[in-house]
Amino acid sequence: MSQSSFARRLFLTLFLFLGARTYAAPIFPGQTILAPGEPDPTGGVVQAGTGIAVPFTSPAGPAQFSGTLTTTVIAGDPSNPLGGLTFTYRLTNDAGSLSSLERMTNLNFTGVQTDVSWQIPAAGVAPTSVDRDASGSTVGWSFNPLGSGVVNPGAATALLVIQTNAPAYTQINANILDGSIATASSFGPVIPEPASLALAGVGALALCRRRS
């Protein structure tokens, strides 16, 4: 085999390997991962009552901020590898805010399988990292000034995506943080019954093995 032919095959192998990993970002309790860009969601049906910009304001002070959070719930998203609902979030920082935004947390994902990403091509500030607490309840998005940047006044985040195996959704709160905390009404999955948690654990292990 010639050197050029070998180089082409090596490049193709690396491209396919890296491409396969790019579009696989499961996150498990206790993990922090780099936030990947993916082109999903790629379709599906927006659920009634979602996709509305909800205003929030932090407590009054020298670093007070305000903005909106838009949460959309999508059923039948073809790109969802887990087969359940897809949740998207877009955070906007008002132009009149006195502070940038550096973090948002979404509740409650206990016992739910999750695959996280931000939508490409990006329209807004991409998150630097995504984390999930040890209980699996909280999924957090960080916007680090040393990474992709904070969400400055007048700016918005990229579309943040959590694909799940959850069959139903409910109204929850999200927390927006930058020194102080603001709360915005949002949506998240219905938490499975205890009998279903063991099955969810088995499914998560199978997903990890398929994507390793």
Q: Is the CB of residue 161 less than 8 Å from the CB of residue 38?
A: yes
Average pLDDT over residues 75-86: 97
Residue 72 lies in a domain: yes
Task: Answer yes or no: is 9 within a domain.
Answer: no
| Nearest in space to 51 (alpha carbons), one of 74, 70, 36, 33 | 70
Q: What is the pLDDT of residue 22?
A: 42
**Tell me: the pLDDT tens digits for 8-35?**
443 333 333 333 334 568 999 999 999 8
The answer as to whether 51 is a domain residue is yes
In sequence order, the 6+-apart residues with CB closer than 8 A to the CB of 83 are: 165
| Assigned domain for 203 exists | yes
Task: Return the pLDDT at 24.
Answer: 60
Is residue 59 very low, low, confident or very high in pLDDT (cuts 50, 70, 90)? very high
What confidence score (pLDDT) does residue 35 get? Answer: 84
Average pLDDT over residues 120-128: 93
Q: State how many domains the chain has.
A: 1
* 16 is a domain residue: no
In the chain, the percentage of residues whose pLDDT exceeds 90 is 73
Mean pLDDT of 40-44: 96
Note whether residue 75 is domain-resident: yes
Domain of residue 166, residue span = 24-211
Structure confidence by residue, pLDDT tens digits, 151-205: 999 999 999 999 999 999 999 999 999 989 999 999 999 998 775 444 545 544 4
Domain membership flag for residue 1: no
Mean per-residue pLDDT over the chain, rounded: 85
11 is a domain residue? no
